[in-house]
Homo-oligomer: A and B are copies of this chain.
Amino acid sequence: MKLLLVEDDPLHLSYLREQIGGALPECDEVFEAANGQDAEALARRHPAADIVMDLQMAGRTGIEAARTIWRERPLTRILFWSNYSDEAYVRGISRIVPMGAAYGYVLKSASEERLRLALRGIFLQNQCVIDNEVRGLQQRSLGQSGGFTESEYEVLVDIALGLTDRAIAERRGLSLRSVQNRLHQIYDKLEVSRPEAAGEEPVLNLRARAVSVAILRKLLNHGALERAEAELRGWLAGRTRH
């Protein structure tokens, strides 16, 4: 049994090695990568390897690496081992996991026991193991209450990037008015209402406020913004070339 560890923090990496040694004695080969690039290359050289991977690393993200790896080999088993349970990450992952693939999501703050169970569950029993802090997010984001539609989320990201209504309309193939309607829905779900009584002067700029609470509620985070920013640059380039 081969294992590929992708983690850029040496401290966490050594902890991981230790836990794996204890929990998975049937693992006889361990490879290591410190970023998404190397991870993809190593995964290609060792097609049978299971993967334990950190999200947010310098250079190529864990999510990006997972996407290309899964595209080439959809049944690869991947355990994501991350610091955060932000919706931005959970949403990113649940969008790229192929059907039938066994995967897991364990927080770094989890106990040793939880990590060991996840390792054995995924790689030996082929089950999906997801910490329930994360699981909560997952249902909420796919379910109804307080959850965001995929297209609402896209618009939310666009205003966070600083696009105008018109630019969003063009980018997403909507009319100007539809974009504004979506904004209204977003303001609703984020409870960014105007607390002032009628006749009072407004205190909040809804657009900016929405971004603020989205960040506070961890719908958005630094990594998600970086990815979106990169996509935006691509779109802008292809657009001015017209």
Contact = CB atoms under 8 A, between A and B. Distances in A.
A209 B161 CA distance: 6
Contacts of A213: 162
A160 B205 contact: no
A215 B207 contact: no
Chain A: interface size category:
35 or more
A interface, by DSSP: helix, strand, loop or mixed? Answer: helix
A174 interface: no
Contacts of A11: 11-12, 15, 108
A164 B159 CA distance: 16
Contacts of A206: 162
A5 interface: no
Contacts of A109: 9
Given A108-B11, A162-B192, A201-B166, A215 B222 contact: yes
A203 B12 contact: no
Interface string A135-161: 000000000000000000000000111
A208 B162 CA distance: 4
Copies of this chain, count: 2
B236 A212 contact: no
Nearest to A9: B109
A205 B203 contact: no
A210 interface: yes
Nearest to A207: B208
B12 A164 contact: no
Contact of A205 (B207, B218, B225): B207
A124 interface: no
A208 B166 contact: no
Contacts of A12: 11
Contacts of A96: none
Contacts of A9: 108-109
A226 interface: yes
Interface of A: 9, 11-12, 15, 108-109, 159-164, 166-167, 192, 201-213, 215-216, 218, 221-222, 225-226, 229, 236
11 contacts: A9-B108, A161-B212, A162-B192, A162-B206, A162-B211, A164-B203, A164-B205, A166-B201, A212-B225, A215-B215, A216-B225
